[in-house]
Structure 1
Amino acid sequence: MGTWNVLTMLQEGKLENMNQVMERTNLNILGRSEVRWTGAGRITSDSYTILKSGGDQHQKGVGIILDKEISKAITGFCTVNNRVLIVKLKGTPFDIRTVQVYTSTADKDAAEIEEFYENIETAMKKLKCQHIRIIMSDFNSKVEKEKNETIVGLFGIRVRNERGERLTEWHKEQKLAVMNTWFENIPKNMLDVEKPLQ
C-alpha cells in the first residue's frame, strides 16, 4: 500500500503513469490526494479499479486505485466529501477498511483544519472496532520523533509544526500510529548500488 499527492489527475497520461508506478513498485493499493476529478464513483479497467470522491469543481478530491486481485475483495465504498473516501475490503480473519484523506495546506485557518478532523471522525464512526483500519493520507504536517511513545516513531521530521501537533494528538485519540515515522528513508544515492560495467 502507498499514498501519493498527485497534484492533479486531469493531465493526459497521468492515470497510465499511476498504473505503471503501481506495477513497478508492486503496490496493490495506491491512495491518491488532490486528484481534482469531479463527482464520486467507480471506474474499472482490465487491470485496476479506481474509486474516487470529488466535488462539483476540479479542486481537491481523493481516490484509491486497487489492482485486479485486490479489487475482487471490494465489498463497497462510501464518500464523506471530496477529502475523505472509505473503501471496504473483505479480509481474513478481519475485514479491512481503508480511508484515503487529504487536508488543506498550511495557509488555511484553524477552523478549516478542525472541520477536516470532524470529517475524519465521521468516517471513523462508520468503521467497526473489529475492522483493520488503515488511514492513508496527505495531512500536510510535520511530526518529530518521540521517546517512549507508540504513536510516532524515531524517523519523523525533525521540527514538529502546529499541524503535526494536532495530527499526533488525533492519532493518540484514535489509538493509531503514524507509520511512515517508523521506517528510515533510504537516501536516493544509496539505492544506486549496482553501477553499470564500464
Structure 2
Amino acid sequence: MYEQSKTAQVADEMQRYKLDILGISECRWIKSGKIRITSGHTILYSRHNDKHQSGIAIMISKDKIKTLLEWEPISDRLIRARLNSKYCKLTIIQCYAPTNDAEEEVKDEFYEKLQMVVSNVPQHDMLLIMGDLNAKVGTDNTDCEIFMVKHGCGIKNGNGERFIDFCLNNNQMIGGTIFPHKDIQKLTWKSPDGRTTNQIDHITVNSKWRKSLQDVRVCHGADVNSDHYLLKAIIKLKLRRNPKKQETKRKIDVEKLKIPDTRKSFNLKLKNRFCKKVLLLLKIFKKGGTRSRKCILKPPKKL
C-alpha cells in the first residue's frame, strides 16, 4: 500500500465492487494521518513510526466521508472510525492481529488494547470489528451457538479460541459463520505456494444489530496482488450526512443600558464608530470627483 500505484489499484477495485468503506490490514505506511487521493477516496491510517511494517487503514468513498464523525489511530494494529447514520451511529474497528505463532505476550497486548477500544464504544452504536484476525474459528460452535453458527471453515486454532472468547464477552456475532456459502466463498487467505487456504479474516457485528448484516462472502475477482481475498459484507444501514453546526446568535442584554455608566460607555463607542464611517465616506466622496458626487447626490428613480 505504500506504493502509489498500489493505492490507486485498491481504489479502482473499491469502485468496481461498489464499496462504501474498505478496511485494510498491513498497509505498511509510516506514522498516522488522513489523506484524500485523486479518486476522491479518503484514507485514515494508523501505522508504525519508523518502519514499513504492519499498519492499518480505513478507506472511505467520496460520498460517505461526509458521514464521518470522528476517528482515532490507536496503534499499528488498530484503528477506529465513527460514522453518522439515520437510526444509530456506526463504529468500525479495523484490526491486524498477531499470527498464531506470535508470542503470547504480543497476543495478550493486542486483545487488551482491542478490549479497551470496544469498552469505550457507546452502547447504542452498531459496532463492526473487521480485518485480518489470523484466527481460524472452525465449524464447532459448542457453547457459543448464539454468536457463532456452524458455517465456518477448517479446524479451530489458538487464535481462533481467543477470538471466539472475545466475541462471547462482547456480544459480537462472527459474520463468516452465519451464511451457508460454499467454502470457496468463505476462505479468505491462500499460502504463497497456493496449496493452503484458510478462513482467517473476519467481520463481526454486535448481536443487537444482527439483522442488519445481510451477507458476508469472499470476492475472488478483486486483484491487488495480495495473498488475502476481498471479504465483502452487505449491511443494511442508511448513513446520513453530518448536520451543519448552527451559528449561535449573540444575545444583547438591553437591561444593562439602564445603568448610567454602561449607557454612557455605549453611547461613546457608538458615536466613535459612526464618526469613523462618516469620515470614510467623505474621503471616498472627495477622491471620486464630480462624477461620484453626482452618483451620491442623484435622487432615486420613482417606481
1:77-156 counterparts in 2 under 5 A?
Answer: 77-145=71-139, 146=141, 149-156=145-152
Cα deviations by residue, 1:34-76 (Å, 9 ceiling, x for unpaired): 0010111100135211000011121111000010111110111
1:153, distance to aligned residue in structure 2 (A): 2.1
3-state SS of paired residue (1:68) = coil
Aligned residues: 181
1:80, distance to aligned residue in structure 2 (A): 1.4
TM-score normalised according to structure 2 size: 0.57
Contact 1:153 1:182 in 2 (8 A): yes
Consecutive unaligned residues of structure 1, counting only runs of 5 or more, are: 1-8, 192-198
Larger CA deviation: 64-73 vs 101-110:
101-110
Cα deviations by residue, 1:133-175 (Å, 9 ceiling, x for unpaired): 1111211010122257122222212200111011101000000
Question: Match for 2:166 among 157, 160, 170?
Answer: 170
Consecutive unaligned residues of structure 2, counting only runs of 5 or more, are: 186-218, 220-303
Closer, same or farther: CA 187–121 of 1 in aligned 2, 3 Å: closer
| Structure-2 separation of matches of 1:76 and 1:108 | 32
Question: Match for 1:44 among 36, 52, 60?
Answer: 36
Cα deviations by residue, 1:11-40 (Å, 9 ceiling, x for unpaired): 341111111111111111100000010111
Larger radius of gyration: 2
| Structure-2 separation of matches of 1:137 and 1:123 | 15
2:279 aligns with none
Contact 1:49 1:66 in 2 (8 A): yes
TM-score normalised according to structure 1 size: 0.86
3-state SS of paired residue (1:51) = strand
2:176 aligns with 180
| Structure-2 separation of matches of 1:185 and 1:35 | 29
1:126, distance to aligned residue in structure 2 (A): 2.4
Closer, same or farther: CA 81–187 of 1 in aligned 2, 3 Å: closer
Closer, same or farther: CA 102–16 of 1 in aligned 2, 3 Å: same
1:15-54 counterparts in 2 under 5 A?
Answer: 15-45=7-37, 46-54=39-47
1:182, distance to aligned residue in structure 2 (A): 1.6
1:158 aligns with 154
Question: Match for 2:57 among 55, 60, 63?
Answer: 63
1:3 aligns with none
- Larger helix proportion of the pair: 2
Contact 1:84 1:123 in 2 (8 A): no
1:4 aligns with none
| Structure-1 separation of matches of 2:138 and 2:100 | 17
